[in-house]
């Protein structure tokens, strides 16, 4: 037998292997794999022999392989086709898998490593083995050796069940899919303004009142006027439900970390027990989304309440961690509360931010006495915090950088790469989402280690996590559509070593992996054939390129507005754009279109393709089109600001310089600003435009529409246009995101 070259585990073809079975596709990619030319047949009556420490993993293996005979009998080891062995030289989640002529052997140093190896075996089995009620059968497997371990120790997926409540069966399915992809932490967001989801005996009104809202918002938060469905909504998980789910996760090597969101996001708590808030407020369980000023008051009885709650629910969760939220805690009530102000003075605190740190520290000490450590969103850093806490950095990477430099553990989950409630396609037909734009490739390219950290500081970055917030996801199918396949991309970003990653290779493997998702009845989004367009940055003149995530696809296109046919031009090189153009394209296989229709309108103007510089640069989360997106003749989406045309800036004043190349008669400049205050996005209050040697023209900006159009008359000959756009400033405290800088989103700068 001859060894092939070392290949990524995800390669979908085993050259030289003659078999009538589909080759396996393994995601995420393993660290090292070697294939051989021969194959081994795993018979349906084979025996699994395992060391005592790996009994749970052996049980999983029996499920995935349909081998029902398990044994710890050493004498049977000589007869067996399958052995699961303890090897103390392997650490953490490391494992080694060998398929030889004589059989299969797995080695691991821990149960966690054995669990991960079991999932690899699962993926080596035919997809038909995933079908409920499928029978044991013999399976041909390529001879191979796999040595594998994760890049990061924390690989999490989150699910919000407060905004929308999901049945136990779906939570278990979600966890099982996580296990398949080698995630190891399930972050269960159990409480928020819209509902309390844990059965509690000591405070029953948390369930009778706090677990139900009188109705729910219909449509998007930004829609005006707001409408509601008029239907009582809610539910909660019994303690038996939680034990079942946590046990199910443990059997797959997944840790369940509960989140009890405090001190803010507490409308449901205070609707049930207003005495734990500041005085004279009448809270109800929230019927809409967003951020509210309901906040727990840091008084003794509140901490006694929390102490009793934690005593009751912590035995349900064996994890060493409890997530306490800590985000978006609006402090207006604390500012008006005599007790809070007295506490600030008594504790020699500077402000309400340090009061939040005081609150969080009290809870941290409380939980530490119960044997638990806390995790919190990045805001718990405000006002200072103990190094024993771990931070989830979501508003970018800055929180994680600050934590790591201070010697605190951090988990990276920035909106830019990890928020799966964002749109994943620019198609207008996509299901309603909260906003933003997070395509599959961007998730895949996520690197949790920020460039600002040195090697010692980087050690404090534990890993990363994908978040599924459910304001607009009211069914299990909706959750699956938003989570998949982005969850798969994240699994490889967190598990596989950087030098093993290649998006085109991943996309090709994912195309094959969809067969397994189909059998598992996962309602995944399928955008692999979706055509993407962009201007060619290497061309001397404006030229437009077309591509798909999958390699070697036949794209046919037109430039006259007609729908492409099997006889239309084949895209082989960038398309020159010299005038107003409508590009339409389709992917064809065997003369049949297999993709949705791609359409892009390009409207040329005096600034089209000209040189533009921006200071500061757009925020990396909203810069997919680059500065040239302002002068490429393409307008951004009317419904969402996260596409490749809108450029986003967070709390910054903008300076834009356009060079038209020569003195040109300009009549006007027009542009658009996104304005969705519920998403922290505000149109600026004014814009200033200055032509060569002239006094700047300052134009006030008014309007409360979702998109604010602005036109500035120029009426002169000029080569340069300098545009100054002051940021809106700090969001008012009573608004969503209060106290944070507002975002500015700007569209095409059209010059006529």
Q: Report the distance separating Cα 460 and Cα 464, nearest Å.
A: 12
- 535 beta partners: 544
- Within 10 Å of residue 699's Cβ, how many Cβ atoms? 15
Exposure letters 624-658 (e unless 16+ CB within 10 A, then b): bbbbebbbbbbbbbebbbbbbbbbbbbbbebebeb
Using CA of residue 339, residue 342, residue 346, residue 349, what is the dihedral sign? positive
Q: How many CB atoms lie within 10 A of CB 571?
A: 21
Reference 222, options 474, 435, 478; nearest CA is 435
One of 187, 189, 220, 265 is an active-site residue; which one? Answer: 265
192 classed as catalytic = yes
| Parallel/antiparallel/unpaired status of strands 154-160 and 185-189 | parallel
Candidates 148, 192, 492, 623; catalytic one: 192
Residue from 647, 627, 656 nearest 722 by CA? 656
Which alpha helices (H) appear in 406-531, and where do they start and end?
415-418, 440-444, 455-458, 476-483, 486-495, 503-519
CA atoms within 13 A on the CB side of 491: 25
Mapped onto helix, strand or coil, the DSSP state of residue 247 is helix
Backbone φ and ψ for 143, nearest 5 degrees, come out as: -70, 130
- Are 672 and 744 a contacting pair, CB within 8 Å? no
Phi/psi of residue 465, nearest 5 degrees: -155, 140
Q: Cis omega (within 30 of 0) on the bond before 616?
A: yes
State the Cα–Cα distance between residues 361 and 374, nearest whole angstrom: 10
Kindly report the backbone phi and psi dihedral angles of residue 706, in degrees, each rounded to the nearest multiple of 5, phi listed first: -60, -40
Exposure string (b/e) for 214-233, b if CB count within 10 Å is 16 or more? eebbeebbbeeeeeeeeeeb
Catalytic residues, by residue number, are 192, 265, 328
């Amino acid at each position: 037998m001859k060894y092939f070259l070392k290949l990524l585990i995800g390669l979908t073809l085993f050259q030289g292997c003659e078999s009538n079975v589909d080759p396996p596709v393994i995601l995420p990619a393993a660290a090292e794999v070697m294939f051989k030319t021969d194959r081994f047949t795993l018979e349906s009556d084979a025996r699994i022999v395992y060391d005592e420490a790996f009994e749970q993993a052996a049980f999983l293996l029996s499920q995935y392989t349909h081998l029902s005979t398990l044994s710890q009998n050493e004498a049977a080891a000589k007869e067996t086709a399958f052995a699961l062995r303890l090897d103390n030289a392997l650490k953490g989640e490391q494992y080694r898998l060998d398929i030889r002529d004589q059989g299969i052997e797995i080695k691991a140093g821990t149960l966690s490593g054995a669990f991960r190896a079991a999932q690899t075996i699962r993926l080596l089995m035919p997809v038909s083995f995933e079908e409920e009620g499928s029978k044991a059968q013999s399976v041909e497997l390529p001879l191979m050796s796999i040595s594998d371990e994760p890049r990061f120790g924390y690989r999490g997926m989150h699910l919000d069940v407060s905004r929308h409540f999901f049945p136990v069966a779906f939570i278990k399915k979600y966890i099982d899919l996580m296990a398949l992809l080698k995630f190891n932490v399930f972050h269960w967001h159990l409480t928020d303004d819209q509902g309390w989801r844990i059965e509690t005996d000591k405070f029953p009104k948390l369930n009778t009142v706090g677990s139900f809202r009188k109705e729910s918002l219909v449509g998007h938060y930004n829609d005006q006027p707001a409408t509601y469905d008029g239907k009582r909504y809610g539910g909660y998980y019994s303690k038996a439900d939680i034990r079942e789910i946590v046990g199910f996760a443990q059997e797959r090597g997944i840790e369940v970390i509960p989140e009890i969101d405090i001190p803010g996001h507490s409308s449901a708590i205070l609707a049930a027990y207003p005495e734990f808030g500041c005085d004279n407020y009448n809270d109800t369980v929230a019927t809409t989304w967003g951020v509210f000023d309901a906040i727990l008051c840091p008084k003794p009885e509140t901490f006694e309440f929390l102490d009793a709650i934690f005593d009751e629910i912590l035995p349900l969760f064996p994890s060493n961690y409890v997530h306490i939220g800590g985000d978006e805690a609006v402090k207006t009530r604390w500012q008006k509360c005599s007790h809070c102000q007295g506490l600030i003075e008594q504790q020699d605190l500077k402000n309400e931010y340090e009061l939040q740190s005081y609150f969080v520290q009290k809870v941290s000490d409380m939980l530490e006495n119960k044997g638990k450590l806390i995790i919190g969103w990045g805001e718990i850093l405000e006002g200072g915090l103990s190094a024993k806490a771990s931070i989830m950095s979501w508003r970018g990477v800055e929180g994680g950088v600050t934590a790591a430099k201070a010697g605190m553990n951090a988990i990276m989950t920035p909106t830019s790469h990890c928020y799966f409630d964002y749109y994943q396609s620019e198609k207008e037909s996509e299901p309603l989402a909260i906003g933003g734009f997070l395509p599959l490739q961007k998730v895949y390219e996520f690197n949790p280690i920020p460039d600002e950290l040195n090697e010692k500081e980087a050690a404090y970055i534990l890993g990363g996590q994908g978040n599924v917030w459910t304001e607009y996801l009211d069914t299990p199918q909706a959750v699956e559509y938003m989570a998949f396949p982005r969850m798969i991309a994240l699994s490889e970003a967190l598990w596989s070593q950087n030098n093993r990653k290649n998006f085109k290779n991943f996309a090709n493997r994912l195309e094959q992996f969809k067969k397994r998702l189909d059998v598992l009845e996962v309602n995944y989004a399928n955008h692999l054939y979706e055509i993407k367009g962009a201007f060619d940055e290497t061309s001397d003149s404006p030229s437009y390129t077309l591509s798909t995530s999958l390699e070697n696809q036949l794209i046919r296109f037109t430039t006259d507005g007609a729908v492409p046919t099997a006889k239309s031009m084949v895209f082989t090189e960038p398309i020159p754009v010299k005038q107003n153009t409508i590009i339409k394209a389709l992917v064809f296989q065997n003369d049949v279109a297999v993709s949705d229709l791609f359409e892009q309108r390009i409207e040329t103007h005096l600034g089209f393709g000209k040189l533009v510089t921006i200071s500061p640069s757009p925020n990396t989360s909203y810069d997919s089109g680059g500065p040239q997106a302002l002068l490429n003749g393409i307008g951004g989406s009317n419904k969402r600001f996260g596409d490749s045309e809108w450029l986003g800036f967070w709390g910054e004043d903008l300076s834009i310089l356009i060079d038209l190349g020569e003195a040109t008669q300009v009549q006007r400049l027009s542009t658009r600003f996104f304005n969705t205050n519920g998403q922290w996005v505000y149109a600026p209050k004014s814009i200033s435009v200055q032509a060569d040697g002239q006094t700047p023209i300052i134009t006030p900006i008014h309007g409360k529409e979702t998109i604010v159009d602005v036109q500035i008359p120029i009426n002169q000959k000029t080569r340069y246009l300098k545009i100054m756009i002051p940021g809106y400033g700090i969001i008012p405290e009573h608004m969503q995101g209060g106290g944070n800088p507002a975002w500015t989103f700007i569209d095409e700068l059209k010059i006529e």
